[in-house]
Structure 1
């Protein structure tokens, strides 16, 4: 007699198959859901999950051609793709840079794109940058010009991050923007001379009586340790006078130094820290060259004793103003070439030289307050031809930094 399989024996095969199917569907759903955020979750043997990055796809038009100097080019009018954000779309902007809101009558300065000769910069992609920065820290170190670059970077990425998943904190001398889902931070650190000085307080820093410690950097460098991407800048604060008071070794021995000599000693102190403290396998270091000033309009036209006030167009011919010190450029080149650690130069000086139109002028702040009506009527004395409006020139500096980081990511 043939014995038919009992229902119980049949079920013992169906149940494991059904469970396997459910587990497969569940895993597939996790993969599909999280692929939207370009990440995968894998269960660890000991419990919990590990997040793995999905590779960023880098297309051909995002590749900077070999041998192309991205710092050599010209500004071209582009009111279709630029600006990359607006004052209204970035509520985190400070009053010092919101020139339109502060009364500037034109917005042309927002619509210029940097076009390198013979190649293209990759278009800025906030999601790709955040993926590059996942589980990492990017810190911009320097003075208020560098703070403008920080503000620009925050504006470039913040719009793609949902509310509640981003934050901006002020922890003097730092400002910290966090993208929570990426466990990433973009930070700014106030160090106008890189070495220590009596101007190191983030908000209450003296201007008239500057004193620097040319051999001391430890208080600052403690905040830089372990940061994945460091971008340094220091220039404008050195240029207040031809000489500067400084100490070296003995705090009580204050001497007057020629500015370029003091700058060289200070940069060597910084370079020694770079060589002895940076792990080039885990950390990348950049140095941003001088951000030019446009204090005298006779340098680019038949001037009337004015400055950057009223300028609405970039300079379209070869130009190098007295606001950029060639001796300082030479010092930077010499010191960086002697480093054992690779420090990449972001040579933004020449491209920014052309942008006499991009400064805050009378549409910014002085000592934390917007200019009064009377002050605005006196642009020769009150126009700010050092800092930049946003959106504006610092966005291009960040586009270049992003392009370099993307290249590094692709090679890795």
Structure 2
């Protein structure tokens, strides 16, 4: 007896009708994979966009300035007793600061990772090299941070000191043949500080077109130079150009003294720009092949009130995103420095086209990173145990410099990445 044939065409039709509602049911209740793909595509596009925007940052691959402070409860690499090179006024631990929360934050860029400082990596990168910090007390502050970080792996020996308050010093890490120096030069250009034998009583005297010979004469001996200036330009000053032989008065800032009243008040922004330009031009003109020049941008102060009228910095944790806007002056000082670094880079490119020497200049852009850390200054603990005998009527605060250890250690974490990229490009010779 012949078996009846199953209607195949009908079976296929029924199957399709059955699959359609199942597919619609799945798409309705389980749309996540499709959304995930779209989200991944958007993230990839945003990541590419951020990479393009970051090319003017410190690294072509990561803009270290775009980020936030996140909590980090790991022990600090050094402390107030393990490092002997901390200036007393910045040793907040030894001076009795009771809170320790300011120690437990790390800077996290949004688009990449910033590794914790590795002293052995840094020492190996600058083996047989000389790194010099040139500028004001914040240059010294960053130098002492670096010394403390490096000394956690290898002892530093003070081999030279000179000048009031040891303003010119040099250390050696003999195992690595590394020298680290500091040069006091609060304007980078030639200047006579107020109250000195050759200066005015209440005014600094600056020559905007002449680099300070104290560091410029030593330029050939540096492999890495870190410049850091800014706050001294806020002080009263009379400005000159043409050198001491052909003094031509440009104007002044806060013209208070009798012999300054006939000068034109011109502020300090333009003079600051001229000073940075003169200094960077000096290293482009005199610098060596494969020399790295770093300009640390302006580090804001955090006085709540006037600095000389009991102003304080009482915060105990970083500002949150959008909590407080940056001051105009801080932004303008930072902008001048970044602009002048870009200008100097173009000058270098022109010299490279003429087959002349190659100096690498970068901006270590810390202005926003620093602005968020109003909690990281010594404040009243610039003096040892300021409240040991009760609360005095007037307490002096330091809201400019940074506790060590403290936020300024992050400056050197970024500096390590800049040195690493420099050594990669120069073949680690």
Name the structure 1 match of 2:183.
189
Name the structure 2 match of 1:272.
281
Q: What secondary structure, in the 3-state scheme, does the structure 1 residue paired with 2:381 have?
A: coil
Matched, 1:90 2:83: yes
- Residues in 1 aligned to 2:231 and 2:145: alpha-carbon distance in whole angstroms: 19
Q: What secondary structure, in the 3-state scheme, does the structure 1 residue paired with 2:144 have?
A: helix
Deviation for aligned residue 1:201 = 11
**TM-score of the superposition, structure 1-length normalised?**
0.73
**TM-score of the superposition, structure 2-length normalised?**
0.70
- Residues in 1 aligned to 2:390 and 2:159: alpha-carbon distance in whole angstroms: 32
Name the structure 2 match of 1:129.
122
Question: Which residue of the other structure, out of 82, 106, 112, is the alignment partner of 2:105?
Answer: 112
Q: Is the 8 A contact 1:363 1:370 kept in 2?
A: yes
Question: Which residue of the other structure, out of 249, 260, 269, is the alignment partner of 1:260?
Answer: 269
Name the structure 1 match of 2:340.
335
Q: Which structure 2 residues correspond to residues 322-361 of structure 1 after superposition, within 5 A?
A: 322=327, 324-339=329-344, 340-341=347-348, 342-361=360-379
Q: What secondary structure, in the 3-state scheme, does the structure 2 residue paired with 1:189 have?
A: strand
Q: What secondary structure, in the 3-state scheme, does the structure 2 residue paired with 1:167 have?
A: strand
Name the structure 2 match of 1:364.
382
Q: Which structure 2 residues correspond to residues 10-409 of structure 1 after superposition, within 5 A?
A: 67-80=61-74, 82-162=75-155, 166-167=157-158, 169-172=160-163, 173-199=167-193, 208-220=202-214, 221-240=216-235, 244-249=237-242, 251=244, 253-254=248-249, 255-256=251-252, 257-279=266-288, 281-296=289-304, 307-318=311-322, 319-322=324-327, 324-339=329-344, 340-341=347-348, 342-365=360-383, 377-378=392-393, 382-409=396-423
Deviation for aligned residue 1:315 = 0.2
Deviation for aligned residue 1:200 = 9.6
* Structure 1 pair 170–125 and aligned structure 2 pair: CA distance change class (3 A): same
* Structure 1 pair 187–351 and aligned structure 2 pair: CA distance change class (3 A): same
Q: Report the count of equivalent residues.
A: 332
Deviation for aligned residue 1:407 = 2.8
- Residues in 1 aligned to 2:364 and 2:170: alpha-carbon distance in whole angstroms: 22
Deviation for aligned residue 1:94 = 1.8
Q: What secondary structure, in the 3-state scheme, does the structure 2 residue paired with 1:345 have?
A: strand
Tell me the alpha carbon deviations over residues 303-347 of structure 1, each in whole angstroms, 9 at most, x when there is no partner.
xx9854331111012343327433323322332222223411100
* Structure 1 pair 113–335 and aligned structure 2 pair: CA distance change class (3 A): same
Structure 1: gaps of 5 or more residues: 1-63, 299-304
Q: Is the 8 A contact 1:375 1:382 kept in 2?
A: no
Which has a greater percent of helix?
2
Deviation for aligned residue 1:355 = 0.3
Q: What secondary structure, in the 3-state scheme, does the structure 2 residue paired with 1:84 have?
A: coil
- Residues in 1 aligned to 2:183 and 2:297: alpha-carbon distance in whole angstroms: 17
